[in-house]
């Protein structure tokens, strides 16, 4: 016989698609359908179920973008179906090629019990396992007409991304809403054939492939295509032998976990995520009930909290399944956050709020951090994960790198402080696996640790919007559990996978430093209003905690636990990896900016209330400095964490004079020279005479680049943006004056394109920082705005602030790894320095920068701060309108002084009236921090509401040193303990030396170490 492989494969493909899969469901009967289209936003299910319905004819259009339609379906089971399984088959107008991105529905029984969801790849609802003839069926659908914003026309601007601009035209047309008999044996035959077909497509020539091909032909010979239900068993019998052949002894093992990566907002608003979570969780508990070994994992305490609040019936089912160990809470975080931009304190709260929720609701803690999709991972994370009690870390996003292939799949990841955490990337390169033959073979082929390690993870199910695992995937998993030629698959808790993988790798390879994603670099800049809101609220909430703690301990005031928790959880939600990065639809960012304004307002109210308590009544001028380092106001130094009555300044006013066309601004520390266009052409540190600006160059120059990436507009900036540049150096108006506080202020207005920009450059007395406040009325499309500083500094590396420390990156591009980092992240500053001189650029709301190394006789360093973009997808109006930035050029800076200046810029002093003596008594710090570069991160009351004070400090400069805390007598120094980030006793923390007489705690502190101390009140 001639061996024609393609003939057999073609036969199986056609018969499966055109005959066997359609025959899984037998005779059909249309249901009687009525519908109610809601005029506005969704309503709770109890209201939806009580709505009046109008007649609806299947096949007519329904659902303008973002609208909800409640369908009522009724039918009666025919007598001749009695005894058989019956399902409802509902096609809302799905496109099966796009699971997750379109219309969806949750199915309810008439009594309000949620059953499961309807998604493009999940269009059935079991009505009865053993039908009774004549039985009435009634189902209600809460159908959401979420528009398709990606895939048909990827990255084209669309108005459908906000309910305020979307079209009223219906988007979907139902195809059928039927009752049908379900044929289990045909379903099993389809699953057998699918798994063997996909396997044989991956197998090399050889005996195994031959056997399977023969079996496939034999099976199809036995199936009568006119009588498939009657002959399916005979077909399956021909496949038993090839399906029973066991996997080889060294087969790779794949640890599958059911999954549906549900973004907490993205191409849909937050309110839709609440429903997506309810839909997917209903389907997954249904699938858990229908199977023996399937496990489903869901991250994000926030998503469980939404269920609890909005869909308590679904939450009850989930809770039950969690208790049974089948529904697995993952990640221990409040949401799957971005990790490059949130502050250190925010990341701690992601863990604290996440783990506390899982503990209180389910009595469990997550052992690992689960972030499959965030856009790069901060090198501060390993320490924070370890200090929060986590044992492992999971992602896969680095497989999206444009250039470099990551060398490991299972490895130890080492952070800036030297902490290591065991990490796994699934070699399948997806968080939406279907367990197809191709995926299984790919995982086996690509896995980098085969020499010592036997297994990898596969998050299995439709994600990026929901849906989750299907019964087809469960059927495939059962067949590839132990199948010759295939990796072995088993449903497994990731904890079990990580324990095994760690044991197999006693000396895992080590990756040091950030996990930089060589893609999506523009997420550090897009949607500036969202980023600014994050930065402001992070600082205000820490200030609110500081003053509230002082007020609680010193005056007995109530600590606003509820309010602070709620505000933090709002900020944490918005750090989700499509909100803070600026990659959601217009609706999400419009709401985010409004929400941040509300959080700011409420945080300020808490701050004002606490300061009122601490200030007493009076008319003395008081200043509250909530920065963890001394700050200045009008030339007067203010101590850290203190409410004081400052004296008056004796510092001389800044000298402002003309020198030809130039302006000179000079105080006791620096002399700044501006040219006639308001650019910085010289900045000299007077003590050393060092010049910060490259001779003949201009700094603080605004550069406008064309910015039209090849795809992923809000996410990506491609390297070629640098090829086109327009320098914005025209001047509409320039004024200069010395203000009442003795500061020199130069204001410059420029216009370009359809936009204008005003910069206010201020040099204060006794300050080495030129402060630049910028207001941009931004009306550009597909442009990238940078503020550029050519610095006369021969820097081998940039030093950028990250959570609880700094990270260093080479300025050269020797290897493809460095070259790929042409846009990188920072927090509040980036510093470049030589042996004895450095220049820092500090900011109040910027996260991205680039650096170029220039050589013309000597090496200099040009830093470009990324201010604004104007991508048109998914939000066509990204960043349009008024935008604010504040930054500073610090001349003669090191890590410590840059941190101090950046802190003060981000949480400026607050001036109030009160009584100076009361303030002196009540407004001094509860815990005074000492140590060369040791800084307070937070002072708060413990989350368990015991009244204990929690003080978190960190070593900020990368120096091995000694930390010291001097405590107020109101605190019981003797009982102080170093604790975990979750504020609990643990072994993995330094031993404190206590001098109870002096109320002093001290301990050795490692470079970038974070220490949390918990102190009961005396």
Binding residues (CB under 5 A) for Zn ion: these are 263, 373
Of 494, 347, 354, nearest to 415 (Cα)? 347
Give me the DSSP letters along 676-690. TTS-EEEEEETTTTE
Token representation of residue 352: 């604290």
Cα–Cα distance measured from residue 370 to residue 985, given in angstroms and rounded to the nearest whole number: 24
Cα–Cα distance measured from residue 76 to residue 483, given in angstroms and rounded to the nearest whole number: 43
Least separation, in Å, of the C-beta of 121 and Zn ion? 19
Q: Which is nearer to Zn ion, 262 or 622 (CB)?
A: 262
Give me the DSSP letters along 938-991. EEEE-TT-S--EEEEEEE-SS--EEEEEEEPTTB-GGG-EEE-TTS---SSSPP
Cα–Cα distance measured from residue 141 to residue 116, given in angstroms and rounded to the nearest whole number: 10
Least separation, in Å, of the C-beta of 263 and Zn ion? 4
* SS3 call for 432: coil
The residues near 240 (Cβ < 8 Å, ≥ 6 apart) are none
Q: Taking the CB of residue 225, how many other CB atoms lie within 10 A of it?
A: 12
Least separation, in Å, of the C-beta of 579 and Zn ion? 11
Phi first, then psi, for residue 193 (nearest 5°) are -65, -40
Give the full edge-to-edge strand order of the sheet including 642-644.
Answer: 642-644, 620-625, 910-914
The residues near 395 (Cβ < 8 Å, ≥ 6 apart) are 371, 372, 373, 374, 377, 423, 425, 515
Least separation, in Å, of the C-beta of 261 and Zn ion? 6
Whose CB is nearest to Zn ion? Answer: 373
Cα–Cα distance measured from residue 573 to residue 619, given in angstroms and rounded to the nearest whole number: 41
Cα–Cα distance measured from residue 177 to residue 174, given in angstroms and rounded to the nearest whole number: 8
Least separation, in Å, of the C-beta of 260 and Zn ion? 11
The distance from CA 348 to its chain's CA centroid, rounded to whole angstroms, is 14
Whether 304 contacts 488, CB under 8 Å: no
Q: Taking the CB of residue 221, how many other CB atoms lie within 10 A of it?
A: 11
For residue 285, CA distances in Å to 158, 546, 721 come to 36, 43, 48
Whether 572 contacts 349, CB under 8 Å: yes
The residues near 540 (Cβ < 8 Å, ≥ 6 apart) are 599, 600, 603, 604, 607, 907
Exposed / middle / buried, residue 912 (Cβ in 10 Å: 0-12, 13-18, 19+) = middle
Token representation of residue 16: 């499966």
The helix (run of H) or strand (run of E) holding residue 302 is helix 301-310
At residue 961's C-alpha, the angle toward residues 960 and 962, to 5°, is 150
Exposed / middle / buried, residue 201 (Cβ in 10 Å: 0-12, 13-18, 19+) = middle
Least separation, in Å, of the C-beta of 411 and Zn ion? 23
Q: Which is nearer to Zn ion, 387 or 397 (CB)?
A: 397
First CA to last CA distance, the chain = 92
> What Rg, from alpha-carbon coordinates, does the chain have?
31
Give the full edge-to-edge strand order of the sheet including 949-955.
Answer: 934-941, 949-955, 1010-1015, 977-979
Q: Which is nearer to Zn ion, 333 or 770 (CB)?
A: 333
Least separation, in Å, of the C-beta of 397 and Zn ion? 9
Least separation, in Å, of the C-beta of 577 and Zn ion? 6
Buried b (16+ CB within 10 A) or exposed e, 126-156: ebbeebeeeeebebbbbbbbbbbbbeeeebe
- Torsion, Cα of 954, 957, 958, 964 (10° steps): -40
Cα–Cα distance measured from residue 639 to residue 963, given in angstroms and rounded to the nearest whole number: 18
Residue at token pair 């132990």: 482
Q: Which is nearer to Zn ion, 263 or 879 (CB)?
A: 263
Least separation, in Å, of the C-beta of 629 and Zn ion? 36
């Amino acid at each position: 016989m001639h061996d024609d492989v393609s003939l057999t494969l073609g036969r199986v493909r056609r018969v499966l698609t055109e005959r066997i899969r359609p025959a899984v469901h037998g005779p059909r009967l249309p249901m009687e359908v009525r519908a109610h289209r809601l005029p506005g936003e969704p309503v709770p299910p109890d209201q939806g179920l009580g709505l009046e319905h109008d007649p609806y004819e299947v096949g007519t259009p329904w659902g303008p973008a973002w609208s909800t339609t409640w369908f009522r379906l009724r039918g009666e089971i025919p007598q001749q179906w009695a005894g058989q399984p019956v399902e409802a088959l509902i096609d809302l107008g799905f496109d099966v090629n796009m699971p997750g991105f379109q219309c969806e529905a949750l199915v309810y029984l008439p009594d309000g019990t949620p059953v499961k969801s309807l998604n493009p790849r999940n269009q059935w609802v079991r009505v009865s396992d053993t039908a009774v003839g004549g039985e009435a069926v009634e189902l209600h659908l809460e159908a959401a007409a979420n528009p398709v914003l990606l895939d048909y026309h990827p990255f084209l601007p669309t108005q459908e991304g906000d309910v305020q601009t979307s079209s009223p035209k219906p988007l979907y047309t139902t195809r059928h809403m039927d009752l049908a008999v379900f044929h289990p044996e045909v379903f099993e035959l389809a699953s057998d054939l699918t798994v063997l077909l996909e396997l044989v497509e991956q197998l090399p020539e050889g005996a195994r492939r031959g056997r399977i091909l023969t079996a496939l032909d034999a099976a199809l010979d036995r199936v009568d295509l006119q009588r498939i239900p009657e002959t399916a068993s005979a077909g399956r019998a021909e496949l038993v032998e090839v399906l029973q052949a066991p996997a080889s002894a060294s087969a790779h093992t794949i640890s599958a976990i059911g999954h549906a990566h549900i973004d907490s907002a993205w191409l849909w608003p937050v309110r839709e995520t609440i429903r997506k979570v309810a839909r997917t969780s209903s389907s997954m508990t249904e699938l858990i009930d229908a199977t023996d070994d399937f496990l489903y994992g869901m991250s994000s305490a926030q998503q469980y909290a939404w269920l609890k609040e909005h869909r308590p019936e679904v939450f009850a089912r989930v809770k039950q399944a969690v208790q049974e160990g089948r529904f697995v809470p993952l990640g221990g975080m409040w949401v799957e956050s971005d990790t490059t931009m949130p502050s250190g304190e925010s990341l701690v709260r992601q863990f604290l709020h996440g783990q506390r929720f899982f503990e209180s609701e389910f009595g469990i803690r997550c052992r690992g951090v689960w972030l499959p999709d965030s856009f790069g991972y901060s090198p501060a994370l390993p320490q924070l994960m370890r200090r929060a009690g986590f044992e492992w870390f999971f992602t896969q996003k680095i497989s999206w790198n444009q250039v470099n292939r990551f060398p490991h799949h299972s490895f130890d990841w080492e952070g800036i402080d030297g902490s290591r955490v065991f990490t796994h990337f699934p070699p399948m390169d997806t968080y939406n696996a279907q367990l197809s033959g191709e995926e299984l073979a790919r995982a086996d082929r690509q896995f980098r640790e085969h020499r010592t390690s036997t297994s990898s993870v596969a998050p299995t199910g439709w994600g990026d919007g929901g849906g989750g695992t299907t019964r087809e995937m469960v059927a495939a998993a059962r067949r590839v559990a132990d199948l010759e030629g295939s990796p072995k698959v088993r449903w497994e808790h990731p904890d079990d996978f990580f324990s095994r993988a760690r044991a197999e790798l006693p000396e895992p390879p080590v990756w040091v430093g950030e996990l930089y994603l060589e893609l999506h670099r523009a997420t550090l800049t897009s949607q500036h209003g969202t980023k600014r809101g994050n930065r402001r609220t992070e600082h205000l909430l820490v200030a609110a905690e500081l003053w509230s703690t002082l007020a609680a301990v010193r005056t007995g005031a109530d600590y606003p636990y509820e309010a602070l928790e709620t505000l933090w959880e709002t900020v944490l939600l918005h750090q989700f990896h499509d909100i803070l990065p600026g990659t959601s639809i217009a609706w999400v960012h419009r709401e985010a900016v409004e929400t941040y304004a509300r959080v700011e307002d409420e945080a300020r109210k808490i701050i004002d209330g606490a300061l009122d308590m601490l200030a007493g009544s009076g008319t003395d001028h008081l200043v509250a400095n909530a920065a963890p380092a001394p700050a200045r106001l009008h030339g007067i130094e203010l101590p850290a964490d203190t409410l004081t009555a400052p004296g008056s300044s004796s510092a001389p006013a800044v000298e402002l004079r003309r020198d030809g066309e130039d302006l000179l601004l000079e105080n006791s520390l620096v002399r700044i020279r501006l040219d006639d266009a308001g650019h910085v052409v010289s900045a000299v540190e007077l003590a050393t005479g060092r010049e910060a600006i490259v001779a003949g160059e201009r700094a603080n120059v605004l550069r406008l680049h064309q910015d039209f990436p090849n795809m992923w507009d809000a996410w990506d900036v491609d390297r070629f943006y640098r090829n086109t540049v327009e320098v914005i150096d025209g001047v509409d108006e320039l004024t200069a004056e010395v203000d009442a506080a003795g500061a020199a202020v130069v204001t410059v207005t420029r216009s370009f394109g359809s936009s204008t920009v005003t910069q206010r450059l201020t040099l204060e007395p006794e300050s080495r920082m030129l402060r630049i406040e910028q207001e941009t009325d931004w009306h550009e499309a597909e442009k990238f705005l940078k503020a550029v500083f050519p610095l006369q500094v021969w820097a081998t590396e940039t030093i950028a602030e990250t959570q609880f420390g700094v990270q260093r990156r080479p300025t050269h591009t020797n290897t493809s790894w460095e070259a790929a980092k042409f846009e990188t992240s920072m927090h509040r500053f980036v510093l470049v320095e030589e042996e004895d001189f450095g220049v820092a650029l500090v900011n109040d709301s910027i996260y991205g920068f680039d650096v170029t190394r220039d050589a013309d006789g000597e090496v200099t360093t040009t830093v470009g701060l990324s201010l604004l973009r104007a991508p048109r997808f998914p939000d066509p109006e990204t960043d349009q309108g008024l935008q604010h930035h504040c930054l500073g050029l610090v001349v003669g800076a090191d890590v410590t002084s840059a941190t101090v200046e950046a802190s003060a810029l981000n949480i400026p002093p607050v001036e109030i009236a009160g009584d100076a003596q009361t303030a002196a008594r009540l407004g001094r710090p509860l815990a005074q921090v000492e140590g060369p570069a040791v800084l307070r991160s937070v002072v708060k009351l413990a989350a368990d509401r015991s009244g204990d004070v929690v003080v978190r400090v960190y070593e900020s400069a990368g120096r091995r040193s000694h930390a010291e805390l001097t405590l107020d007598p109101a605190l019981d120094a003797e009982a102080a303990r170093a604790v975990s980030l979750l504020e609990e006793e643990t072994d993995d923390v330094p031993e404190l030396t206590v001098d109870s007489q002096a109320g002093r705690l001290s301990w050795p502190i490692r470079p970038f170490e974070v220490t949390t101390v918990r102190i009961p009140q005396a």
